[in-house]
């Protein structure tokens, strides 16, 4: 094999299936044969050309599972045949201030998979060794893929809470992120409230481990949370800042709104709503590569699973479009190995 197929975004919203030459990994990099790649809402950054010169083609996809088939110079911890994953962060540099403080997520020189560098809507992908995630044997590629970004995002946001066992934790949005968040929160010992629009997802939320379901179209979520004692934390996954503003009054004293969904409209909050009750609003961004391994092991051990719709590689553009509708149940994954 000297070439591979990939879906490039050639203009905003336009995909092209192309044949690319296989190249050697650069120093510090590895090359993967892709087995599966999840389709994530953040792919819109690439597909809409928001983050870089839209005239340069880019391959989206940052929930990649594959097998290493070549390693670049200086890579000693990984070897061909290793089964690995790559998430949104393509590998930290090790040299910047954030890296030297061990804060790899905030590396100042980290490529973003499928966004600033080519990703996994392809038969072959590249990643920095520092971004690699070892995949447990017993976890299938299709099952692992969505955990690498959606799963990690929720795992990381929830495991960083400083809340007591049994504390009330709410997950806003029961979609690709939230349906995982409810499971993680439950397995971490919290009492879980699911918040979504409409009643359609109430039963599912209960199945996933929520004790309470709140329909945000039908009640004042802040007041409802206070009636339950106030939330120690709310992890907000909706792509809407405005919807998050409404959540702050639902926080218990010392409560924290954790923002993982990146809408384009702002969150707006009254200073007094933060001061009285000493509440906080905090962003949370995916996690490091070893946290991703922690996440996979935790998920396997505790039965946290993504519910996926699987599509063949050739249908990547359609899979992306389907994800965009918001009607997927709940993650869309490309089966590249098939």
Q: State the residues that interact with its own copies by CB under 8 A.
A: 27-28, 73-74, 76-77, 94-95, 97-98, 100-106, 130, 155, 159, 164-166, 184, 187-189, 191, 241, 244, 253-254, 259-264, 266-285, 288-291, 294, 297-298, 301-302
Do residues 238 and 181 touch, judged by C-beta distance below 8 A? no
- The full DSSP string for 78-104 is --TT-EEEE-SB----SSSHHHHTT-G
Q: How far is the CB of 183 from Zn ion (least distance, A)?
A: 17
**Cα distance from N-terminal residue to C-terminal residue, the chain:** 17
Q: How far is the CB of 302 from Zn ion (least distance, A)?
A: 22
Q: How many CA atoms lie within 13 A of 305 on its CB side?
A: 11
Taking the least distance from each CB to its own copies, the nearer of 83 and 92 is: 92
Q: How far is the CB of 208 from Zn ion (least distance, A)?
A: 20
Query: Which residues 6+ apart lie within 8 Å of 327 measured at CB?
Result: none
Taking the least distance from each CB to its own copies, the nearer of 207 and 265 is: 265
Is there binding between residue 96 and Zn ion (CB under 5 A)? yes
CA 185 – CA 298 distance, rounded (Å): 12
Binder of Zn ion out of 92, 191, 279, 331 (CB under 5 A): 92
Taking the least distance from each CB to Zn ion, the nearer of 20 and 134 is: 134
Q: How far is the CB of 102 from its own copies (least distance, A)?
A: 2
The CA angle 177-52-244, to the nearest 5 degrees, is 35
Please choose, from the candidates 156, 155, 148, 150, the residue with its C-alpha nearest in 3D space to the C-alpha of residue 131.
148
Question: What residues between 33 and 52 interact with Zn ion by CB under 5 A?
Answer: 40, 42
Taking the least distance from each CB to Zn ion, the nearer of 34 and 246 is: 34
Q: How far is the CB of 216 from its own copies (least distance, A)?
A: 17
CB atoms within 10 A of CB 48: 12
Site of interaction with Zn ion (CB under 5 A):
40, 42, 92-93, 96, 99, 107, 149
């Amino acid at each position: 094999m000297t070439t591979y197929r990939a879906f490039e975004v050639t203009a905003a919203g336009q995909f092209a299936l192309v044949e690319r030459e296989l190249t050697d990994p650069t120093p510090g990099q590895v090359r993967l044969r892709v087995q599966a790649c999840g389709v994530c809402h953040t792919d819109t950054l690439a597909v809409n050309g928001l983050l870089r010169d839209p005239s340069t083609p880019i391959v989206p996809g940052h929930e990649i599972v594959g097998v290493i088939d070549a390693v670049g110079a200086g890579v000693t911890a990984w070897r061909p045949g290793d089964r690995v994953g790559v998430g949104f962060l393509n590998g930290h540099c090790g040299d910047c201030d954030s890296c030297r403080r061990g804060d790899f997520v905030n590396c100042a020189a980290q490529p973003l998979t499928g966004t600033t560098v080519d990703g996994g809507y392809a038969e072959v992908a590249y990643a920095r060794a520092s971004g690699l995630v070892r995949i447990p044997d017993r976890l299938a590629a299709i099952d692992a893929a969505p955990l690498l970004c959606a799963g990690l995002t929720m795992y990381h946001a929830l495991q960083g809470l400083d809340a007591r066992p049994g504390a009330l934790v709410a997950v806003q949005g029961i979609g690709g992120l939230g349906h995982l968040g409810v499971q993680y929160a439950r397995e971490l010992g919290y009492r879980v409230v699911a918040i979504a629009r409409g009643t359609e997802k109430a039963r599912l939320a209960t199945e996933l481990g929520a004790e309470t379901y709140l329909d945000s179209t039908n009640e004042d979520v802040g007041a409802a949370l206070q009636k339950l004692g106030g939330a120690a934390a709310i992890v907000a996954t909706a792509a809407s800042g405005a919807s998050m503003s409404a959540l702050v009054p639902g926080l218990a004293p010392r409560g924290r709104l954790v923002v993982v969904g990146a809408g384009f409209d702002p969150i707006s909050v009254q200073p007094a709503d933060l001061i009285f009750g000493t509440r906080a609003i905090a962003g949370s961004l995916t996690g490091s590569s070893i946290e991703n391994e922690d996440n996979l092991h935790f998920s396997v051990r505790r039965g946290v699973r993504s519910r996926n719709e699987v599509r063949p590689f050739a249908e990547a553009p359609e899979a992306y479009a389907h994800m965009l509708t918001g009607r997927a149940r709940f993650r869309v994954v490309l089966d590249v190995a098939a």
